[in-house]
A and B are shown apart, each in its own frame.
Chain A
Amino acid sequence: MTNQTHDANQNWNQQSGRPGSGRREAAWGEVTDRLDDWLAIEPDGSVTAFSGKVELGTGVRTALAQIVAEELDLPLERVHMVMGDTARTPDEGYTAGSMTISGSGTALRNASAEARRAMLQMASERLDAALHELLIRDGIVQVRNHPERSISYAELMGGKTFDLKVTDQAPRKPPKDYRIVGTSTAREDLPGKIAGQPSFIHDLKIPGMLHGRLVRPPGPAARLVSIDKNSVKDIPGLVDVIQRGNFIGVVAEREEQAVLAAKQLKVQWQEAAVYPRMEDLYAYLQNQKTEDTIVADEGNFDKAIVRADRKLHATYYQPYHAHASIGPSCAVADVKGDQVTVWASTPGPYPLGGALAQMLGLPADHVHLIYVEGSGSYGQNGADDVAADAIILSQAVGKPVRVQWTREEEFAWEPKAPAMVMEVNAGLDAQGNVMAWDYHVWSPSHVARARFAGQLVTVQLLSGQPAPQSRFSFGAERNSRTNYSFPAQRVTVHYLGNSPLRASSFRSLGGAENTFANESFMDELAAAAGVDALEYRLRYLSEARERAVLKAAAEKAGWESHPSPRKSKAAVAEGRGVAFARYENDQAIVACVAQVQVDPARGIVRANRIVVAHDCGLIINPDGVKNQIEGNVIQSLSRTLKEEVQFDEKHITSVDWEKYPILTFSEVPEVEIVLINRPDQPAVGAGEPSTVTTAAALANAIFDATGARLRQIPFTPERVKAALGEWEDPK
Chain B
Amino acid sequence: MSDEIILIVNGKPRTVQAAPDTPLLHVLRNELGLTGPHFGCGEEKCGACMVLIGDKATQSCKMPVSEVGQARITTLEGLIEEGQLHPVQRAFIEEQAAQCGYCLNGMIITTAALLWKKPHPSDAQIREALDGNLCRCGSHLRILRAVRRAEALLAESE
Contacts and interface: CB of A to CB of B under 8 A. Distances in A.
B96 A189 contact: no
Interface string B31-69: 001111111111101101000000000000000000000
Contacts of B76: 194-196
A200 B38 contact: yes
Contacts of B134: 326, 657, 662, 664
Contacts of B133: 665
B39 A328 contact: yes
A77 B77 CA distance: 24
Given A205-B33, A663-B140, 8 more contacts: A57-B101, A58-B99, A194-B89, A200-B35, A407-B40, A632-B138, A634-B138, A668-B141
Contacts of B22: 256
Given A193-B98, A326-B103, A666-B127, A635 B136 contact: yes
B132 to A, nearest CB: 8
A634 B142 CA distance: 12
Interface string B121-158: 00010111011011111111111100000000000000
11 contacts: A57-B102, A193-B101, A196-B77, A326-B40, A373-B100, A407-B40, A627-B142, A633-B138, A634-B140, A663-B140, A670-B141
B19 interface: yes
A286 B142 CA distance: 42
A197 interface: yes
Secondary structure of the A contact surface, majority rule: loop
A630 B135 CA distance: 12
Contacts of B92: 190, 194
Interface residues of B, number: 59
B38 A327 contact: yes
Contact of A665 (B29, B42, B140): B140
Contacts of B100: 56-57, 326, 373-376
B42 A631 contact: no
A666 B140 CA distance: 10
Nearest to B133: A665
B71 interface: no
Interface of A: 56-59, 186-187, 189-191, 193-200, 202-203, 205, 236, 254-256, 323-328, 373-376, 378, 404, 406-407, 623, 627-628, 630-635, 638, 656-658, 662-666, 668, 670-671
Contacts of B1: 236
A57 B93 contact: no
B39 A202 contact: yes
Interface of B: 1-2, 18-19, 22-23, 26, 29-30, 33-43, 45-46, 48, 75-77, 80, 85, 89, 92-93, 96, 98-105, 108, 124, 126-128, 130-131, 133-144
B135 A407 contact: no
A82 B63 CA distance: 38
Given A190-B101, A256-B19, A256-B23, A326 B135 contact: yes
Given A186-B93, A407-B43, A635-B137, A326 B48 contact: yes
Contacts of B124: 666
Contacts of B128: 665-666
Contacts of B144: 665, 668
A237 to B, nearest CB: 9
B93 A194 contact: yes
Contact of A325 (B126, B131, B136): B136
Contacts of B30: 254-255
Contact of A255 (B26, B41, B45, B141): B26
B101 A189 contact: yes
A59 B96 CA distance: 10
A194 B99 contact: no
Contacts of B2: 236
A193 B23 CA distance: 23
Given A199-B35, A376-B136, A190 B142 contact: no
Contacts of A376: 99-100, 102, 136-137
A635 B99 CA distance: 12
B139 A194 contact: no
A623 to B, nearest CB: 6
Contacts of A203: 29, 35
A564 B130 CA distance: 36
Nearest to B131: A664
Nearest to B21: A256
Contacts of A189: 101
B20 to A, nearest CB: 11
B136 A630 contact: no
Contacts of A191: 85, 93
A626 B111 CA distance: 23
A671 B141 contact: yes
Contact of A627 (B39, B43, B104, B139): B139
Contacts of B45: 656-658
A326 B102 contact: yes
Contacts of B136: 323-326, 375-376, 378, 635, 662
Contacts of B108: 194
A546 to B, nearest CB: 25
A386 B93 CA distance: 31
